[in-house]
């Protein structure tokens, strides 16, 4: 049972739930269904999404990974704004993500990014919008 997906989540609660007949469901899939994500995706030209720490785990079962996976077959560009980014450009390309930008790098330090998160995120988002406004998504290719 411990090898089942999600069994070790939340200190092993997943294994207990599986033992009494529970079943694993992707949280990202549940959110997508309840927010009618597929309908919004059909009209999208660009997706900008976010994550606290964008790493390999983000691509497997988290919302950002699910968004990128859904956008990829439709050739919709995806940009990720995150507190910290630890994926290289090759991993981003493999996941169908055009760019992943770090708020900590924009702010100059993790300390400042955390202390002034809202303003730092707004500044980075403004920078992205300006770059997109000048050249569209090709500005990140």
pLDDT per residue as tens digits for the range 53-71: 999 988 887 889 999 999 9
Q: Kindly report the pTM of this predicted structure.
A: 0.80
The band of 7, judged by pLDDT with boundaries at 50, 70 and 90, is low
How many of the other CB atoms lie within 10 Å of CB of 31? 13
Shared domain for 69 and 8, answered yes or no, is no
Burial of 54 (0-12, 13-18, 19+ CB in 10 A): buried
Full domain range(s) for residue 61: 36-140
Shared domain for 6 and 43, answered yes or no, is no
Shared domain for 77 and 99, answered yes or no, is yes
Whole-number pLDDT of residue 9: 59
Give the mean model confidence (pLDDT) for residues 70-85: 95
- Residue 10 is assigned to a structural domain of this protein: yes
pLDDT higher than 60, residue 10:
no
C-alpha span between 82 and 106 (Å, rounded)? 10
C-alpha span between 91 and 68 (Å, rounded)? 12
Residue 133's H or E segment, with its range, is: helix 117-135
- Residue 40 is assigned to a structural domain of this protein: yes
Whole-number pLDDT of residue 76: 94
Three-state DSSP state, 26: coil
């Amino acid at each position: 049972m411990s090898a089942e997906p999600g069994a070790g989540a939340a200190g092993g609660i997943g294994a207990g739930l599986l033992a009494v007949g529970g079943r694993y469901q992707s949280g990202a899939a549940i959110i997508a269904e309840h927010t009618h994500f597929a309908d919004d995706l059909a009209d999208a030209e660009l997706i900008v999404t976010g994550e606290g720490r964008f790493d390999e785990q983000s691509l497997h079962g988290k919302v950002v990974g699910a968004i990128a996976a859904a956008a990829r077959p439709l050739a919709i560009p995806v940009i990720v704004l995150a507190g910290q980014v630890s994926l290289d450009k090759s991993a981003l390309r493999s996941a169908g993500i055009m760019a992943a930008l770090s708020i900590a790098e924009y702010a100059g330090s993790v300390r400042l990014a955390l202390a002034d998160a809202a303003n730092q995120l707004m500044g980075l988002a403004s920078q992205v919008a300006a770059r997109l406004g000048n050249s569209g998504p090709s500005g990140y290719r």
